[in-house]
Chains A and B, each alone.
Chain A
Amino acid sequence: MRVLVCVKRVPAPGAKINITDDGQAVDATNLGHTMSPHEECALELAVQLVEAHGGESHVLTLGVAEADEQCRWAASIGITKATLVDVGTMGWDPQRTATALIEAIRSIEEADGTFDVIIFGNESADTGGFQVGIRTARVLDRPMVNAIKGVSISEDGTVLEAQREIDSGMEVYHLPLPCAIGVKEGITWPRYPTMRGRLASKKLAVDVTGSEAAPGGQTMVRLNRPEEQVSETIILGEGAAAAPAVVELLKELGLWS
Chain B
Amino acid sequence: MSVLVVVEHDRGAMADASLESFAFARSIADQLGEHVEALLIGAAAADLAGVCAAHGATACHLVPAADDYGPELYGAVVSAAAGQLSPSGIVACGTDRGNEVLAHAAAELGMPFVANCLEVKTADEWEMTRVQWGGSLNEEARLASLMPIVSVAPHAVEADEVSPGATATVSELSVEVPESASRSVIQDRVVLSEGLSLATAPIVIGGGRGVGSSEGFDVLEALAAKLGGVVGCSRAVTNNGWRPHSDQVGQTGTRIAPQLYIACGISGAIQHWVGAKAAKKILAINTDPAANMVVKADYAVIGDLFEVLPAIDQS
A interface with B by C-beta (< 8 Å): 13, 15-17, 19, 26, 36-38, 93-95, 98, 123, 125-131, 134-135, 138-139, 141, 143-147, 149, 163-176, 184-186, 216-226, 229, 231, 233-247, 249-250, 253-257
Chain B residues 234 to 264 lying within 8 A of chain A, measured CB to CB, are 235, 238, 244-246, 248, 251-253, 259-260
Question: Interface of chain B, helix or strand or loop or mixed?
Answer: mixed
The docked-state distance in angstroms from the alpha carbon of A145 to that of B251 is: 20
Cβ proximity bits B116-141 to A, threshold 8 Å, 1 near / 0 not: 10000000000101011111111111
Say yes or no: A246-B138 contact (C-beta < 8 A), given A130-B99, A168-B193. Answer: no
A169 touching B252 by the CB < 8 A rule? no
B295 touching A233 by the CB < 8 A rule? yes
Task: Return chain A residues, CB-CB under 8 Å to B127.
Answer: 221
Measured CB to CB, the closest approach of chain A to B36, in angstroms, equals 23
A168 touching B194 by the CB < 8 A rule? yes
B270 touching A169 by the CB < 8 A rule? no
Cβ proximity bits B62-101 to A, threshold 8 Å, 1 near / 0 not: 0000000111100100000000000000000010100110
Measured CB to CB, the closest approach of chain B to A178, in angstroms, equals 12
The docked-state distance in angstroms from the alpha carbon of A104 to that of B227 is: 54
Say yes or no: A223-B303 contact (C-beta < 8 A), given A130-B116, A243-B308. Answer: no
Task: Return chain B residues, CB-CB under 8 Å to A135.
Answer: 103, 106-107
Measured CB to CB, the closest approach of chain B to A243, in angstroms, equals 4
- Please tell me which one of the listed residues A13, A123, A234 contacts residue B299 in the complex, with CB atoms under 8 A apart: A234
Task: Return chain A residues, CB-CB under 8 Å to B183.
Answer: 143, 175-176
Selected interface stretch from B25-33, B45-53, B184-192, B209-217? B184-192
Selected interface stretch from B1-9, B160-168, B169-177, B199-207? B199-207
Say yes or no: A36-B252 contact (C-beta < 8 A), given A246-B312, A255-B203. Answer: yes
Task: Return chain B residues, CB-CB under 8 Å to A226.
Answer: 135-138
CB-nearest residue of chain A to B298: A231
Q: What are 21 A-B pairs with beta-carbon distances under 8 A?
A: A131-B113, A134-B71, A138-B72, A143-B180, A146-B99, A149-B245, A168-B194, A168-B197, A169-B192, A171-B189, A174-B187, A217-B111, A217-B144, A220-B139, A220-B141, A226-B138, A233-B284, A233-B299, A247-B312, A255-B227, A255-B259
Task: Return chain A residues, CB-CB under 8 Å to B137.
Answer: 17, 19, 26, 223-226
- Give the number of chain B interface residues (Cβ < 8 Å): 96
Question: Interface of chain A, helix or strand or loop or mixed?
Answer: mixed
CB-nearest residue of chain B to A247: B315
B141 touching A219 by the CB < 8 A rule? yes
Say yes or no: A233-B100 contact (C-beta < 8 A), given A143-B183, A168-B193, A240-B307. Answer: no
Say yes or no: A239-B193 contact (C-beta < 8 A), given A37-B252, A250-B227. Answer: no
* Contacts A235-B299, A246-B315 supplied; 4 other A-B pairs, CB < 8 Å: A143-B183, A169-B191, A242-B301, A242-B302
